[in-house]
A and B are shown apart, each in its own frame.
Chain A
Amino acid sequence: MTFSRLIHICRQRVQALFRRNRLDEELDQELLFHLEQLEQENLESGMSPSEARRAARLSLGNIVVLKEECRDQRRVSWFYDFRQDARYALRMTRKHPGVTAIAAVSLALGIGANTAILNVGAALLMGDLPLPDSDQLVIVRSVPPNDPRLVNHSSVPDYVAWSEGNRTFESMGLSIANQQDLSGDDIGVAAERVFGQAVTPSLFDTLGVHPRLGRVFSQDEAQTGMPARVVILSDRLWQRRFHGDPDIVGKAIRMNGKEVKVVGVMPRGFWYPIENSEYWVPLAFTRFQLEASGRLFMVTGRLKVGTTLEQAQADVDGISKQLELALARNRGWRARIVPLRRYWFGWILQPLLTLEAGVILVLLIVCANISTLLLARVPAWRPEISLRLKMGAGRGRIVRQFLAESLLLSLIGGACGVLVARWGVSILEALRPPPAGIKISGLVQESGILGLAVLLSVVSSLIFGLVPALVASSSGSDIREATTQRKRGSLSGILISAQIGLALILLVSSGLLINSFIRLVFDDRGFNPKGLLTFQYRIPVEDYTKRFTSYRGLPGMEITPPTEAIQRVYEKLKTLPGAESVAGSSAPPLNGLLLPRATLHIEGRPDPTTPSEEAAANVVYFLVTDNFFETMKTPLLRGRDFDSRDTRSAPWVAVINQTLAQRLWPGEDPIGRHFTADAAFGERPREVIGIVRDVALRSVDNGVPQAVAYTHYLQQPERYEGLNTGMFGQMTFIVRSNQDPAVMAAAARRAVAEVDPHRSLANVQTLAESLGGAIESRGYPVAALAVFAILATILVGVGVYGVMSSSVSLRAREVRIRLAMGAKARDIVGLVGVRAFWPVAAGLMFGSLGSLTLTRLLDGQLWGVTSTDATTFVAVTALLIGVSVAACFIPARRAMRVSPSRALRIE
């Protein structure tokens, strides 16, 4: 179609719509002109004037029909039909404010919640990440042989092999968390512990970011064993500590007491890979790390343009197979490519999906409910509809008219839903992923919210409007009213069943999640967090390790665990006024970023040979002080706690947890047995002196119980050579007291400063806070589902009530006669209730089956309950039965209030 023709057609349509009267007038004129010409001709051919007029009219045919045909050519009759439908819809919504209000509110919640969640999901899956071409960025992780659920980061040899051997990556970079004390004396502020990352120079290239000031690291600054004393600051740290000093580049600052040169400042808002990263220092591998290292290093890679994830996966798989052959430590380990987006947001998608499933159920229940309400209204309209059908209105026309009303209701709901959706997005924001600090609301598009709200409104209006529309339009053509009524009744029944069934699924799911959440909050985690304050005291690695020799080109490190310095702080803390009990642990007891591990060799058994045996002997390994279990209030199942008997010179001992006892000594008594850990060179055999209950290591774990060995931190080799694993120079102290945590924290700071004025305390928090933070973020989706479950319950009540009261009013006459004949209240309730029985029973049946199938999907998100938890099923079923009975009872009661004599008079 040419453009000029398009313009022409548009102009025609616009005129047809807005200048209808003028066009009609012109049409009259045109035809009149024709008639005149015909008449003239007829006169000329010798007819009398009246004859001429008659003949002219005859030859033009029925002029009214002709005009109508001409008007039909304008193709805008849909508009007038639409206007009529809209007027009808407005009239209906005003006439039934109750139905309108219920529909608007419930649709607003249903549409709003779906819109919010789908938009947030889309934003997380497709929104822009704050890094250039972020869809090419991936994380390469390591999967252990035994449990694919426990995905690790990677080791240095893995990284070197991947970054040198790959064919699918543009570049790769490595990072590992780092923390240092920024000394304050030279700039006149207090010392501060800051968190950053040690990174390979290639990381910034891989990310594709450039500093706002200065430069990134050069390869020279990360030569093996010799990290340069340089640092790149984040914009935030630069502003906060150095007041945005424009000449900062080239200046030296003091970190961990040593001078470090600032070489660059990153752009505002940049952080990687976690939000708390405030500085970056070069990561130079040691010779040891190049031989073997822990799987603690995060590998970030940028795929070559056009490379798929599958190709990259195949590429690293090939390299990992070679690594397995070359390195004993790599046996059974696989690499896994995870897109950066999934690494950051993957964990949130599952709860989001659960929520979305929940709100889809809500929207379906809402639709079924509105459908029942509209259906209940059909009888009142039957006379008008039959009349219109008899007058020749098409069935489609009537269906369309009913759908127009549904659409109006739906759009009112959708408009309110937009507000609900905006609010919902801000609630979902509270689910902010821990590893990334991206603002979800910034990623969500306003047009997406509006578009989806409109789309969902239209779809919903079809879902809830079509059945009532079809039933209403068929009633006139059906001669036997009774048949129609029965059909309508059974349709209402089906809708009630659907509502109850869907509500049951929703209630069971949210019931399970609520149940699980309550357990999560109140469950015994193997320790009592009440009144526990924790803080970290840390001595820099350089202070207790020393490079002392070279052996075949490898630097030998001499490690002197600073046990005395720690012991001094510990002894001081024990004298804190108000402290009931004090203990320490080499790693935070809860939510530690890394869990130190060691492999145990059990006396009298051969060393493990297969990867699975090795993995079984590899356990979480804590060095703790006296009274650790007493302070944590962890129940000792057998044996004793560490105490003052356990000195450096006493026999070395260990306490193990239940899982470890089960795993390594199944059916035996581990007390008195010995094992040697490979935590350091110079380890001695330790005797197992106690078994404790399993203690949660994370606020919310994945349900895989971990084997844990606890040893006394005084009982470690005094001085040894080898690899520093970083677990010796720090102690997380735990203080139990009844006092205000803030007061205790201040007292602890003063006490530590007395012993060691150079170190600051880090991560001062109560264990309840540490526990609560992660739990809280789990609470939001559960709370949201709970709200929807309540809404669904109310809707079911409204739906059953609507159907019942309409059925009672239709049978009012029968009820009155029965009452007059002496029927008892019970009989009437039975008479009405029996109609509700089958739909409710069928709904419960269908819902139970559906729940049993669907709640299995929740398995990974439950904590302490199974997906077929009988209590939840029974409670929810009872609740729905209760609501249905109540909804039947009210209309029945109303019918019965009529006294028998009055009932007869009405008849």
Chain B
Amino acid sequence: MPKPSDLLQGTLDLLILKSLAREPLHGWGIARRIQSLSDEVLSVQQGSLYPALHRLEQQGWVIAEWKNTDLGRSAKFYSLTRDGKKQLDRELEIWRRLSSAVGLLLKRA
């Protein structure tokens, strides 16, 4: 479970969970999606993506399955578990509170 202070790791987990919310994706796909959804602003440090994915898998938030890609290449697809969906909601809530608090603070400061 990410600690509140562990912002970077927590954020990466949130981004991964969010990008899996719509459909199962492989690691490469997740990296792509984060990049494209953020209009190329956020680019995931590709090396840190896999340990994060494996950690989420060990924690039971995501589940992995080997499937063929559209091009017929076998790849490891990750999808959210039911618990993962709830975790995503929780993390989103935390994120909203945090970002609005930070936003407020920046506005007033």
Residues of B within 8 A of A5 (CB): 60, 81, 83
Residue in A12, A30, A60, A70 whose beta carbon sits within 8 Å of that of B46 in the complex: A60
Q: A73 near B47 (CB under 8 angstroms)?
A: no
For residue B81, which residue of chain A has the nearest CB?
Answer: A8
CB proximity to B under 8 Å, residues A2-31: 2, 4-6, 8-9, 12-13, 16, 26, 29-31
Residues of B within 8 A of A72 (CB): 51
Is B26 on the interface with A (CB-CB < 8 A)? yes
The digit string for A810-834, where 1 denotes a CB below 8 A from any CB of B, is: 0000000000000000000000000
Is B108 on the interface with A (CB-CB < 8 A)? no
Residue in A4, A12, A16, A69 whose beta carbon sits within 8 Å of that of B51 in the complex: A69
Complex alpha-carbon distance, A30 and B30, angstroms: 13
Is B97 on the interface with A (CB-CB < 8 A)? no
Residue in B54, B63, B81, B83 whose beta carbon sits within 8 Å of that of A70 in the complex: B54
Q: Is the interface of B mostly helix, strand, loop or mixed?
A: helix
Q: B59 near A70 (CB under 8 angstroms)?
A: no
Residue in A6, A26, A34, A61 whose beta carbon sits within 8 Å of that of B28 in the complex: A34
Chain A contact patch, size range? 20 to 34
Instruction: Check A30/B27 contact, CB under 8 A, given A66-B50, A72-B51.
Output: yes
Instruction: Check A61/B46 contact, CB under 8 A, given A4-B82, A12-B57.
Output: yes
Q: B46 near A73 (CB under 8 angstroms)?
A: no
Complex alpha-carbon distance, A74 and B55, angstroms: 7
For residue B69, which residue of chain A has the nearest CB?
Answer: A33
Q: B51 near A59 (CB under 8 angstroms)?
A: no
Residue in A13, A31, A73 whose beta carbon sits within 8 Å of that of B55 in the complex: A73
Q: B82 near A33 (CB under 8 angstroms)?
A: no
Instruction: Check A75/B76 contact, CB under 8 A, given A5-B81, A34-B46, A66-B51.
Output: no
Q: A26 near B76 (CB under 8 angstroms)?
A: yes
Q: A8 near B63 (CB under 8 angstroms)?
A: yes
The smallest C-beta distance from B52 to any residue of chain A, in angstroms, reads: 9
The smallest C-beta distance from B12 to any residue of chain A, in angstroms, reads: 13
The digit string for B17-40, where 1 denotes a CB below 8 A from any CB of A, is: 000000000111001000000000
Complex alpha-carbon distance, A592 and B23, angstroms: 92
The smallest C-beta distance from B27 to any residue of chain A, in angstroms, reads: 6
Is B92 on the interface with A (CB-CB < 8 A)? no
Q: Is the interface of A mostly helix, strand, loop or mixed?
A: helix
Complex alpha-carbon distance, A26 and B78, angstroms: 13
Q: B58 near A12 (CB under 8 angstroms)?
A: yes
The smallest C-beta distance from B42 to any residue of chain A, in angstroms, reads: 15
The smallest C-beta distance from A342 to any residue of chain B, in angstroms, reads: 52
Q: B81 near A37 (CB under 8 angstroms)?
A: no
Complex alpha-carbon distance, A5 and B31, angstroms: 26
Residue in B51, B54, B58, B74 whose beta carbon sits within 8 Å of that of A9 in the complex: B58
Complex alpha-carbon distance, A9 and B63, angstroms: 10
Residues of A within 8 A of B28 (CB): 33-34, 37-38
Complex alpha-carbon distance, A4 and B27, angstroms: 24
Residues of B within 8 A of A13 (CB): 58
Is B73 on the interface with A (CB-CB < 8 A)? yes
Residues of B within 8 A of A69 (CB): 50-51
Q: B59 near A9 (CB under 8 angstroms)?
A: yes
The smallest C-beta distance from A632 to any residue of chain B, in angstroms, reads: 84
Q: A33 near B76 (CB under 8 angstroms)?
A: yes
CB proximity to B under 8 Å, residues A651-692: none
CB proximity to A under 8 Å, residues B42-75: 46-47, 50-51, 54-55, 57-60, 63, 66, 73-75
Instruction: Check A30/B83 contact, CB under 8 A, given A8-B60, A9-B58, A37-B28.
Output: no
Complex alpha-carbon distance, A9 and B54, angstroms: 12
The smallest C-beta distance from B25 to any residue of chain A, in angstroms, reads: 12
Residues of A within 8 A of B60 (CB): 4-6, 8-9, 12
Q: B47 near A70 (CB under 8 angstroms)?
A: no
Q: A73 near B54 (CB under 8 angstroms)?
A: yes
Residues of A within 8 A of B75 (CB): 30, 33
For residue B83, which residue of chain A has the nearest CB?
Answer: A5
Complex alpha-carbon distance, A9 and B57, angstroms: 8
The digit string for A55-98, where 1 denotes a CB below 8 A from any CB of B, is: 00001111000100110111100000000000000000000000
- Most B-side CB within 10 Å, residue of A6, A72, A73: A73
Residues of B within 8 A of A73 (CB): 51, 54-55, 57-58
Residue in A16, A31, A37, A59 whose beta carbon sits within 8 Å of that of B50 in the complex: A31
Q: B76 near A30 (CB under 8 angstroms)?
A: yes
Residues of A within 8 A of B66 (CB): 26
The smallest C-beta distance from A355 to any residue of chain B, in angstroms, reads: 51
Q: A74 near B54 (CB under 8 angstroms)?
A: yes
Instruction: Check A59/B46 contact, CB under 8 A, given A9-B59, A73-B58.
Output: yes
Residues of B within 8 A of A16 (CB): 58
The smallest C-beta distance from A16 to any residue of chain B, in angstroms, reads: 8
The smallest C-beta distance from A180 to any residue of chain B, in angstroms, reads: 76
Complex alpha-carbon distance, A2 and B66, angstroms: 25
Q: A4 near B59 (CB under 8 angstroms)?
A: no
Q: A4 near B81 (CB under 8 angstroms)?
A: yes
The digit string for A545-582, where 1 denotes a CB below 8 A from any CB of B, is: 00000000000000000000000000000000000000
Residues of B within 8 A of A38 (CB): 28, 46
Residues of B within 8 A of A9 (CB): 58-60
Complex alpha-carbon distance, A235 and B9, angstroms: 76
Q: B81 near A29 (CB under 8 angstroms)?
A: no
For residue B28, which residue of chain A has the nearest CB?
Answer: A37
Q: B27 near A70 (CB under 8 angstroms)?
A: no
CB proximity to B under 8 Å, residues A771-819: none
The smallest C-beta distance from B95 to any residue of chain A, in angstroms, reads: 21
Complex alpha-carbon distance, A31 and B51, angstroms: 11
For residue A10, which residue of chain B has the nearest CB?
Answer: B60
For residue A70, which residue of chain B has the nearest CB?
Answer: B54
Complex alpha-carbon distance, A520 and B23, angstroms: 88
For residue B59, which residue of chain A has the nearest CB?
Answer: A9
Complex alpha-carbon distance, A754 and B46, angstroms: 113
The contact sample of 7 A-B pairs, CB cut-off 8 A, is A9-B58, A12-B60, A16-B58, A30-B75, A31-B50, A33-B26, A33-B75
The 5 closest A-B pairs by CB, nearest first: A61-B47, A8-B60, A73-B54, A5-B60, A69-B51
A5-B81, A31-B50, A61-B47 are known; give 18 further A-B pairs, CB within 8 A.
A4-B83, A5-B83, A8-B83, A9-B59, A29-B74, A30-B75, A30-B76, A33-B74, A33-B75, A34-B28, A34-B31, A61-B46, A66-B51, A72-B51, A73-B54, A73-B55, A73-B57, A73-B58
Interface residues of A (CB under 8 A from B): 2, 4-6, 8-9, 12-13, 16, 26, 29-31, 33-34, 36-38, 59-62, 66, 69-70, 72-75
